[in-house]
Amino acid sequence: MQTVKSNGFEIPALGFGVFRMSDEEIAKVIPAALEAGFRHFDSAQIYKNEAALGKALEQTGVSRDEIFLTTKVWADQYAPEKFAASVGESLEKLRVNNADLLLLHWPGDEVPVAEQVAMLNEVRAAGKTRLIGVSNQNASQMRESVEYSAAPIVTNQIEVHPYLNQSAVAPAAAELDVAITGYYGMADGAVPKDPLLQKIGAQYGKTAAQAALRWVIQQGFIALSKTANPARAAENAAIFDFTLSDEDMDAIHGLARPDGRIVSPENLSPVWDA
């Protein structure tokens, strides 16, 4: 599996996300994902399925040291009396002693970023995670996180798909040596149906979804894919045997539009970069 480097650490370039997946779907698809070559799995406290993911991974018998496991702390746990305990609960559900990567899920509007990062560093120092990062931060918050963090901030997990221009935050991340992890790559189902992406994918014998995931990877980002269909897991993993041309990359970038952002919950989201 190709990796993305950040602050001297390596993260698998393609991950398998379990957002909005039921326990039953996870139990069915995780074995297929592992068979397809996935080793990077992304969950979160708020998904309410950490326990299902932990059980499914354990039952496959794949060694823990082969798995790169990410989870995220929800904003209502950003308090000294809650944070560490909530992480411990996540690890118990995931059936691991520590996470490979622990993220702050959303910046929110109640707890200063510096305080959030301090709590993240404390659980890392306690051995509950190997790496730390953030999610859904704008460029200013990301800079603040890096400034106040004792340990490297290795990623900012943000919404990335062809309809959203992220040309403000991506260069800032590169400057800080913070990897971008892209979620919502299928744009809530719009990508597989997009005529341009279908046309570009067909040139390489690939689907529109594969073309979009490849577009994310070729920007040097980490791409999170998702499917509840075991048969689709192999398709999502098969994006390392072709390279989009510069013209195709530019054409996909050209799909971005002013109203392209899909995920922006009130009281959790920052003021997004223009």
What integer pLDDT is reported at residue 268 of this predicted model?
A: 97
Q: Where are the domains of the chain?
A: 3-253
Q: Is the pLDDT of residue 137 over 90?
A: yes
Range 177-198 average pLDDT: 98
Tokens, residue 175: 């400057």
Tokens 């689907």 label which residue? 207
Residue with tokens 């990567």: 101
The domain 3-253 having CATH identifier 3.90.420.10: the answer here is no
Which structure tokens are listed for 113?
Answer: 């970023």
For 62-81, b/e burial (b = at least 16 CB within 10 A) is eeeeebbbbbbbbbebbeee
Nearest-CA neighbor of 226 among 182, 261, 256?
Answer: 182
The tens digit of pLDDT for each residue in 85-100 reads 999 999 999 999 999 9
pTM of the model: 0.97
Are the C-beta atoms of residues 123 and 101 closer than 8 Å to each other? no
Check residue 1 and give its pLDDT.
78
8 A C-beta contact, residue 190 and residue 169: no
pLDDT in tens, 107-126: 999 999 999 999 999 999 99
Quote the pLDDT of residue 33. 98
- Catalytically annotated residues: 47
> Residue 274 has what pLDDT?
83
